[in-house]
Amino acid sequence: MKQVVAQGTFDLLHPGHLHYLTDAKSYGDRLDVIVARAENVTHKPKPIVPDRQRLEMVNALDPVDDARLGHLEDFFVPIREIDPDVIVLGHDQHHDEETLSGMLAAEGIDCSVVRASARDPDPESEGELLSTGRIIDRICDRRC
């Protein structure tokens, strides 16, 4: 059985998240997802939705076999526990595949790192939002 890991913040779920996880699942037989804890998110604004709620929503998605919160101090703890064959990065995630591959090798974790495809906006869905930031911007524009 080929084990796949995807990871992310998954704040305000949208079709782009579902595309990412569906694409990630296509790389293997089982998809485990690591949901970032809010306190570990440093590369963008903190999530709006609490950790446990984001975890519950990701766990409910069809492509996901299991989801868990990331470790508070060591990114590699859940990776070691899952022991994946492949880590699939989101198409727009800030991680660099080569850097991450090197870090995994240094930790003695043998798996490949690939990048998921981007989801093209649906031409029939006027104003489709595939970004949490854009969803927040639209809410602020319309309700603030």
**Annotated binding residues for ATP, as ranges?**
9-10, 14-17, 92
Cα separation, 115 vs 93, whole angstroms: 9
Write out the binding residues.
Answer: 9-10, 14-17, 92
Alpha helices in 26-131 (DSSP H): 51-59, 76-82, 97-106
C-alpha to C-alpha distance for 71 and 63, rounded to whole angstroms: 22
The phi-psi region of residue 12 (left if phi > 0; otherwise alpha if psi is between -120 and 50; otherwise beta) is: left
User: Token digits for 67?
Assistant: 């989801």
Cα–Cα separations (whole angstroms), residue 133 to 7, 68, 95: 18, 23, 18
DSSP 134: H
* Cβ atoms of residues 113 and 97 within 8 Å: yes
Look-up: residue for tokens 């981007």?
Answer: 118
